Structure formats: structure tokens, C-alpha cells
Amino acid sequence: MTDPIIADNDPPRRSRTRRREAMVNAIATVLGCMALVVMIATVVRVVMVKLWESAQVNPEYVQSVYDTGTERAWSGNTQRQTALLSEEGVKSAQPRLAAEAPPPEERTAPPTPAALPSTPNSTLALGATSTIQDIESKRQKIEATIRSFFAANAIDKKLAFVRDPQRVRPLMENFYQQHPFESREWKNLGWVLSVEESGYRLGYAQAIFDNAEPVSLIIEELADNSFRVDWESSVRYGEIGWDEFVRTQPAAPKLLRVIASKPRHTPSTEAPQGSEILEIKHPEKADAIYAYFDRQDPKFQPLLQQLQTGNWKDVPLTLRLCYPGPAGSGKSARIADVEGKGWLILQETKS
């Protein structure tokens, strides 16, 4: 026979058990939801950090562009950037980061290589042009052009995406006889900047790769609203290899893209009295030579301006260099002429 006291206590005990089970289930549900929220937040944070890191603009470059304390012409970081643009030439609006770029499925396909024009299709023909208008709205076109430029593994293919192709073709043929095409895995387009230059629609863009350091390029918008890459500055093209130039010391001026600085110590040279002496290096070489020019000669005023605005330190220049004496004489090189701005040659008639 069942004890009436125990029988009476069964319903309350079962009720308490059910309440405990319900409370445990509720706590477990809350903890599970919190864990899910934390996990989602962590994933989002990791994704955002990766996107931010991939699109960050080089701080040294931004400082050189937006430093309002000086009037800057062509200067910047020479190790990651292939040409240097002016502060007054870059629009004051901050560049949009690559994280804001359209997703891959919304980007246009790479443009189909077209026949090279019989005459250069430059923005010079547009008269009053001076910059790429609303460059952010043209990211898809710019990315398609740059991506195709790096994907091209033959001269004819690459020329379809190069500015001034008729003049550049023989330079490319000479260059790629000694330098193989580099293989880079495209990732995305970084920042893009407009550049003020009368008679041209120029810009500056950052290409980001999965297997290589970012590369900064000068781009030009043509009269038909297509884009082209400045190949010469992208490879620092010279008429002769740096090692060969130093070894052979040619008497005839040779075009070279170099980095120039004011010497830290006055070198012992046989330069003519009143000459300005520079320490000259190749962007990819550690050794340096000395070269001089007549600072009173009017044709070197553009050179002085570039040196002054670059604070006479690691200023990229396109120079014609030669040696005044016989090979092996130990004399300093002579700067015969200066061309373009930084590593960019604007005039389409020059080589």
C-alpha cells in the first residue's frame, strides 16, 4: 500500500524537476545564441581586417601627396612605386579603399585587344583636358585594363594596353630580349588617384597580387575613354642596362631611369667648377655613381625643380647620362639632359 505522504509529494517534485529542466534548456539556448553571435562577429572582423590590409595606401606615399606644408612636384616612395606624382596634381579627395570596390561578379570582363592605332590616341587631342574626371566611377574599366596588362605574356598582347604603342614597341622588343615576362596572380585593384597635368588625363593606380608586392602604375585615359598603362615607367626602361653603363662608360648620352640624391659628403671629382653633383643609383641596384650638371643652364631648371620638391633625396629621374672622358678614366658621369617628370615621359615624340 502506497504511503499517502510520498504520493502527495510526487506532483511538486515533478514540477520542480520540469522547472529545472526548462531553466537548463533556456540557459543552454542563450549560451548557444551568444556563441553564435561571437563566432559571426569574429568571422566578420577577420574578413574586414583582411580587406583593410589588402587595400591600405602606403603611408609614406599619402604623406608625400597630401603634405600641404610644401609645394611638391614629383616625389614619393621609390621602393614600391614606379613613378612619382605631384601633390598639386593629385585631387584632394582621399582615395577610396579597395574594400569598397565592386564585387568580382559586377566587374567588367578584360577588354579585347584591339588593333594598334596608326597614330597615338592621346588625350592631347582633347585640348583642355587636365585630369581623369570622377575616377572612382571608372574603377571597373581601370581594373580590367591593368589586369589584362599584367596577364599579357607577349609583346603584341601587352601593347594593346600600353600608352603610345607605336613608339614603345621597339623599346619593348629590346627590353624583353633580356627580361622574361613576370608571372603575377591578380588579386584586386587598390586605390586610384587622379593627377593634374595640362593636356593629359592621367591617374595613378595600385595593382595588388596574391604572389607579389603591390605595384603602382601611371595610367592614361584616352580620347575614346579607354585606359592605357605607362609601360616605360612600370619597368624603369633604359636604353642600356645599368651594369653595362657603369662598365663601358659610354661617351654618347644614354637614357636611364634612376634615383638621385644630394651626396652626404662632397665627392672628389673632376667636375667643372660651378657644377651641381648628384649621387645616382639604379632603383634595383645598391651601387652608386656621381654625375654632374651645370645648374646655370636653363635646360636643367626642370631637373632642379624636381630635386628641390623631392628634398634632394631619392628623387626618381629620367636622365640622359654619359661619360666625358675615356672609359676607365674614373671621372664622374655627365648629365646631358633631363626628360619628363619622375619616370614618366609625357612627350610622345621622345624615346
Domains and CATH numbers, the chain: 59-235 (no CATH), 242-338 (2.40.50)
Per the CB < 8 A criterion, the answer to whether 81 and 61 are in contact is yes
What is the pLDDT averaged over residues 243-262?
94
Q: Which helix (H) or strand (E) covers residue 292, if one does? A: strand 288-294
Residue 14 to residues 2, 21, 137: CA-CA distances in angstroms?
Answer: 18, 11, 69
Note the pLDDT tens digit of each residue in 24-82: 888 878 887 888 877 887 776 765 655 544 444 444 433 333 333 333 333 333 333 33
pLDDT > 70? residue 113: no
pLDDT of residue 274: 79
Q: Which residue has the cell 614618366?
A: 344
Compute φ and ψ for 337, nearest 5 degrees.
-165, 165
Q: Three-class SS of residue 200?
A: coil
The answer to which of 274-283, 294-303, 341-350 has the lowest mean pLDDT is 341-350
Helix, strand, or coil (residue 213): coil
User: pLDDT by residue (tens digit) across 201-243?
Assistant: 999 999 999 999 999 999 999 999 999 999 999 999 999 999 9
